[in-house]
Amino acid sequence: MKMEIDSLKLKCTGTIADREGLKENKIMLELQLKQLGEQHAIVCQDNAEMKMEIDSLKLNCNVANEEQKVLVEKNSMLELQVKQLEEQHAKVCKDNVEMSRKIEFLKENHHDKNSGYGGQVLEKNSALEVELKELKEKYSKAITENEKFRKKARLSLVKVR
């Protein structure tokens, strides 16, 4: 019987030790659970912030896409305007060549006709010279405006790209 009592004491001592170990284990597990809860809260907050950032980036992307569409349309319009100005420039150049020919013709014939017609030729020649001066001024303005527009168009094309 003594052996039985000793055996029971031994078992009881083991159970008490196991119980103490379980209590320590429980405390450690509760601490780990608390730490995991804190980490979970941080991860949830990070996820919410990232979702807001993603939404903001999507919105910015949509705005940028719309702006790009507008710029592409403006670019097309500017290219059309450049083409029109180039055509106008070509016409002005052609007109300038014709006026230069007329002037040369008038200069060559001025001395011949001046002797026959007198003052009429001088008046007509003066009027033509005034007309020529006006045409040259118009041509100069057209070239200046054409260059300004080309610069603007190039800058717009660079901005679009």
Main-chain phi, psi angles of 118, to 5 degrees: 70, -125
Query: Minimal CA–CA distance to 103: which of 139, 138, 130?
Result: 130
Handedness of CA 75, 78, 84, 86 (dihedral sign): negative
Q: Are 89 and 139 in contact (CB under 8 A)?
A: no
Q: What is the pLDDT of residues 87-104, one digit of tens each?
A: 988 888 888 888 888 888
Q: Tokens 């196991």 label which residue?
A: 18
Interhelix angle 2-117/119-160, nearest 10 degrees: 170
pLDDT of residue 66: 93
CATH topology of domain 2-160: Helix Hairpins (1.10.287)
Nearest to 140 by CA among 82, 107, 148: 148
Encoded tokens for 30? 């509760």
**pLDDT averaged over the chain?**
82
The 3-state DSSP class for residue 118 equals coil
Condensed to tens digits (0 to 9), the pLDDT of residues 4-53 reads 777 766 666 666 667 777 888 889 999 999 999 999 999 999 999 999 99
pLDDT digits (tens, 9 = 90+) for 53-86: 999 999 999 999 999 999 889 888 988 988 898 8
Domain-by-domain residue ranges, the chain?
2-160
Whether the CB-CB separation of 135 and 95 falls below 8 Å is answered with: yes
**99, 135 Cβ separation under 8 angstroms:** yes
Whole-model pTM: value is: 0.40
